[in-house]
Amino acid sequence: MSRIPSVDLRLFLSEKAEDKQQFVQDIGAAFSDIGFVALSGHFLDQNLIDELYSEVKSFFNLDEEIKKNYEIEGIGGQRGYTSFGKESAKGYKAGDLKEFWHFGQYEIPEALKSEYPANVIVSEVPNFNTVGKTAYKKLEKTAVYVLRALALYLGLDERYFDQYVQNGNSILRPIHYPPIVDEPKDAVRAAAHGDINLITLLMGAQGKGLQVQDHQGVWHDAIARPDQLMINVGDMLSRLSNNKLKSTIHQVVNPERELWGSSRYSIPFFMHPISSMKLNCLEGCVDADHPKQFEDCTAGEYLHERLVELGLIKE
């Protein structure tokens, strides 16, 4: 393991108050420092994870012409396929060396149907859709409990976030980093960035590649056990907590030359709230020693701003 702390969600789900409080303190301390934890005791079982990876690989192995049929114009890549090199990190011109897919929210109330694009159905890999939906819901459930723990750490009601993440604009993103054929110039598999959302739950951090930058600017390999999810704070939660919880810069570096011929897969789940959620700094996180660092905005406004910066939508 790297210096990323490990926590077990089963402590939070325990009937023992001291176990629950221990989890709250441990995850809160980790997110106030490095901004990452490796979480076990989540709601995904290994059979589901294996099945999801199998379906994801089957999709990305399709011919490029077929995959591009699922690239939907005008929605900023929020659903369906985004082809290789199209997304770049904030401040970078070179596109990342990846292609990816987006599953979105399934429980959509009438009031949000005009805001959320429909999920895209892949006819060539029929189980891709059903397995993706199951994984989405298990990850969403896990994220709800993590946010309940963080609400307690921030001195809020345990279910503070529930009202905002129910029917939230969350995304499950299977990513394929293809084999590297030519010498990369300025491009890496995923350039240094912070995530947009509240929290990210990542499958596929069992091998080298993901790196996390600490407060001294030193990069650390972030490697989880096969039974763990890597979870990190996103910029929305950092804004809300006035940077008490840290959104840490991270990247996916290119492998050693002898491994260029290998694909890499990872599957992050980006937990987003509904767009109307205010990201104004919480009063309990602002005082004389910690003045307000961010301007008021909503989650929807902030998401739009960041998608423009990523080059996925135009102003």
pLDDT in tens, 93-139: 555 678 999 999 998 888 888 889 999 999 999 899 999 999 999 99
Say how many CA atoms lie within 13 Å of 278 toward its Cβ.
6
pLDDT per residue as tens, the chain (315 positions): 357 899 999 999 999 999 999 999 999 999 999 999 999 999 999 999 999 999 999 999 999 999 999 999 888 788 999 988 665 445 545 556 789 999 999 988 888 888 899 999 999 998 999 999 999 999 999 999 999 999 999 999 999 999 999 999 999 999 998 876 666 565 555 567 889 999 999 987 666 678 888 878 888 888 888 899 999 999 999 999 999 999 988 887 765 666 666 788 889 999 999 999 999 999 999 999 999 999 999 999 998 888 888 776 776
DSSP, collapsed to helix, strand or coil, labels residue 153 as helix
Task: Name residues whose C-beta falls within 8 Å of residue 195's C-beta, 6 or more positions apart in sequence.
Answer: 232, 233, 234, 235, 247, 270
Task: Name residues whose C-beta falls within 8 Å of residue 189's C-beta, 6 or more positions apart in sequence.
Answer: 96, 97, 98, 177, 209, 252, 253, 254, 264
CA angle 165, 141, 118 (to 5 degrees): 60
pLDDT in tens, 48-77: 999 999 999 999 999 999 999 999 988 878
Nearest to 96 by CA among 192, 181, 173, 171: 192
Burial class (CB in 10 A: 0-12, 13-18, 19+), 21: middle
d(CA 50, CA 66): 24
d(CA 189, CA 176): 9
Query: Model-level pTM greater than 0.85?
Result: yes
Regarding the domain delimited by 6-309, which CATH topology (the fold level of the hierarchy) does it fall under? Jelly Rolls (2.60.120)
DSSP, collapsed to helix, strand or coil, labels residue 33 as helix
